[in-house]
Amino acid sequence: MTATTDGTAGSGLSGTEHTDREPPGTDAPGPESLTALAERTTARAVDHLLGRQCDEGWWKGDLETNVTMDAEDLLLREFLGIRDERLLRAAARFIRAQQRKDGTWATFHGGPGDLSATVEAYVALRLAGDEPEAPHMALASAWVRERGGVAGARVFTRIWLALFGWWRWDDLPEMPPELIYLPKWFPLNIYDFGCWARQTIVPLTVVSALRPVQPAPFRLDELHRDPARPSPPTAVQLPTSWDGAFQWLDRGLRAYRKVAVGPLRRAALKDASRWIIERQENDGCWGGIQPPAVYSLIALKLLGYDLDHPVMRAGLESLDRFAVWPDEETRMVEACQSPVWDTCLVSIALADAGLPGDHPALVKAADWMLSEQIVRPGDWSVRRPQLPPGGWAFEFHNDNYPDIDDTAEVALALRRVEHPEPERVDSAVRRAVRWNLGMQSNDGAWGAFDVDNTSKFPNLLPFCDFGEVIDPPSADVTAHVLEMLAAEGKQAEPRARKAISWLLAEQESNGAWFGRWGVNYLYGTGAVVPALVAAGIPASHPAVRRAVSWVESVQNDDGGWGEDLRSYIDADWVANGTSTPSQTGWALMALLAAGERDSKAVERGVVWLAEQQREDGYWDEPFFTGTGFPWDFSINYHLYRMVFPLTALGRYLHGDGLGHLAARSA
């Protein structure tokens, strides 16, 4: 290995130099100069990533979402009586810094003000001592009132307010704990919900049943249009539509609540607590994500678990590990942590960039990934009880909920490593392939966590007014699984062919594919085209040519690609946005897989990436290009700006990294 100027381990890639590059001139570079430019850019990125690897072998970038995570963390501590003044000041400092000029808070960089986020941020700052008369607070409260006040906020925001008496429990939808008893074949049983919703709803049924109120330290009259009547009456609908039917269902549950004080309610609360505790992970968290953790802690506290109980103590300690301190006075809370996802993507990027397969960094990463494979059943086995485990989760600890996407990408990453114990890799990948194949939905595609999690009823419930609560198959996850199957030489098998047919049928009329877990059509198309080509669909196929035409047509004038999150709700934003490194990487990955290496679009994209790279090999990317729920919950993965540009540049220089995999598996 070579040494970089900052002392980190270098890549040792041949034909690269660690010298400052001159910006390309106005004339388009020729093939040799473009290659040299790509090599220098690639080498810098490789060295940057090698310098960020943890001693245990993993990589993890910050996972940035929005200030509701920070606000709810403070509200939880206030409710539990564990207020920490240092944390409060540091969180408030971060929240203030995220406020927009109009007084609001958005859910993604450059996005519009969001009512629920603004309400929660405002309340958090009130807890921190910011007075309502302060200019930044008055601006926020006026905006909230103009949008209808707290009454217009999502149900989960109003639940937080109800915990302190700022909202009436009677003005919230019913969530009975008896829901846990519905059999898995019955509509609206807990396994009809996506795993993230399931983990949140079960503890919330406990909270809803017990309706606690912790006396608030102040009033919030300034957030209501009419403080004397904060909740306007809801028009009663006839049960002739689904919305009307579920409104009447909620009325029925309210009537049931008046008599639900007997043995069944007590048993349901007890069994809900058992369900929650059984799903606590080894690190104390629930599902590796923040929302189920905070609601589980509240539910268990209400059921009599004191803060010194091992379950509670471990849960609170796990939340501290979600905190990122940019400096000693500022604290940001991550909604989740992504080490498995980051590590497999970085490994793929480094290998495709030309790092030798036996490089110590890749071997160390492979060892860590191998140690993280999940070998026990989780909630997914409710639908697939006979399927042996073998997946990977997204987080450090989340054995109950491995996900199909991570499993596919980890398998692809492991196959790029020349491990000293190849039989370990072979065994792990075989388990992964078997598990992913067993999680295929009936239509031939894959969701993220569950099989055939497609019921339309959960989204119609009155309390499900925020984000996706089901986990239907998506093009991006299906593409990653198909790419894994192709790498294992299984592209001609019936289940792979069924997936190909599903993907071809899902192509939009403009030639793109919808992106469920990344923004948006650029992500979907950047995943699907490489997978189809790897699975044997020729680059001349009409679907591939339509995709190429679309990608080329939406390239920005500066040579990059970008897409705003508003594309999920407004067609005018499809592939419309400021150029970003990650989205430019996705576009290039699609074009390169389709055989467009020498095209003008690829040339301009490579030059754009080179021009935007910092001298330390990093790319800046304030825009959010990941999603938890399309539009409703957005994510800025801080390593996306590194791994996808590097993967694209590596494939520009060396090919797609898949040829040797197919040969090895044959």
Please indicate, yes or no, if residue 160 is contained in any of the structural domains. Answer: yes
Output the average pLDDT for the chain.
91
DSSP designation for 106:
B
Q: Which pLDDT score is estimated for 261?
A: 72
Give residues with Cβ within 8 angstroms of 189, minimum separation 6. Answer: 179, 182, 183
CB atoms within 10 A of CB 9: 16
Please indicate, yes or no, if residue 187 is contained in any of the structural domains. Answer: yes
* Strand, coil or helix: 433: helix
DSSP designation for 229:
S
pLDDT higher than 50, residue 6: no
Q: Give the CA diameter of the chain.
A: 80
Helix (H) or strand (E) segment spanning residue 635: strand 633-637
Q: Which pLDDT score is estimated for 290?
A: 87
Residues of the domain holding 226: 64-331
CB atoms within 10 A of CB 97: 11
pLDDT higher than 80, residue 658: no
Across 452-461, 518-527, 562-571, least confident range: 452-461
Please indicate, yes or no, if residue 174 is contained in any of the structural domains. Answer: yes
* Strand, coil or helix: 419: coil
Average pLDDT score over residue span 217-240: 82
| pLDDT tens per residue across span 481-498 | 999 999 999 999 999 999
Assigned token pair, 137: 């607070």
Torsions phi, psi for 61 (to 5 deg) = -95, 160
Assigned token pair, 42: 């690639």
Q: Residue 119 carries which side chain, given as an amino acid letter? A: V
Q: Are 563 and 572 in contact (CB under 8 A)?
A: no
Alpha-helical runs (H) found in 51-153: 68-80, 85-97, 115-127, 135-146
* Alpha carbons 193 and 201: distance in angstroms, whole number: 9
Q: Which pLDDT score is estimated for 253?
A: 72
Is residue 427 packed enough to be buried (19+ CB in 10 Å), middle (13-18) or exposed (0-12)? middle
Considering the chain, what percentage of its residues have pLDDT values greater than 90? 83
| Residue 29 pLDDT level (bands cut at 50, 70, 90) | low
Q: What is the pTM of this model?
A: 0.91
Q: Which pLDDT score is estimated for 579?
A: 98
Q: Which pLDDT score is estimated for 438?
A: 97
pLDDT higher than 60, residue 30: no
Please indicate, yes or no, if residue 133 is contained in any of the structural domains. Answer: yes
* Alpha carbons 95 and 89: distance in angstroms, whole number: 10
Average pLDDT score over residue span 451-465: 86
Please indicate, yes or no, if residue 221 is contained in any of the structural domains. Answer: yes
| pLDDT tens per residue across span 164-223 | 999 999 999 888 999 999 999 999 999 999 999 999 999 999 999 999 999 999 999 999
Across 477-491, 514-528, 563-577, 650-664, least confident range: 650-664
Q: Which pLDDT score is estimated for 661?
A: 52
| Residue 232 pLDDT level (bands cut at 50, 70, 90) | confident
- Catalytic, 405? Answer yes
Q: Are 282 and 310 in contact (CB under 8 A)?
A: no
Candidate list 73, 405, 406, 476, residue with the active-site label = 405
| pLDDT tens per residue across span 284-319 | 999 888 889 999 999 999 999 999 999 999 999 999
Q: Are 277 and 293 in contact (CB under 8 A)?
A: no
Please indicate, yes or no, if residue 300 is contained in any of the structural domains. Answer: yes
Average pLDDT score over residue span 590-599: 97
Q: Which pLDDT score is estimated for 249?
A: 75
* Alpha carbons 440 and 460: distance in angstroms, whole number: 25
If one counts the domains in the chain, the total is 1
| Residue 636 pLDDT level (bands cut at 50, 70, 90) | very high
* Alpha carbons 287 and 282: distance in angstroms, whole number: 10
| pLDDT tens per residue across span 541-588 | 999 999 999 999 999 999 999 999 999 999 999 999 999 999 999 999
Please indicate, yes or no, if residue 465 is contained in any of the structural domains. Answer: no
Domain with residue 138: its CATH number is 1.50.10.20
pLDDT higher than 70, residue 119: yes
| The 3-state secondary structure of 318-359, one letter per residue | HHHCCEEEEECCEEEECCECCHHHHHHHHHHHHHHCCCCCCC
* Alpha carbons 435 and 577: distance in angstroms, whole number: 38
Please indicate, yes or no, if residue 17 is contained in any of the structural domains. Answer: no
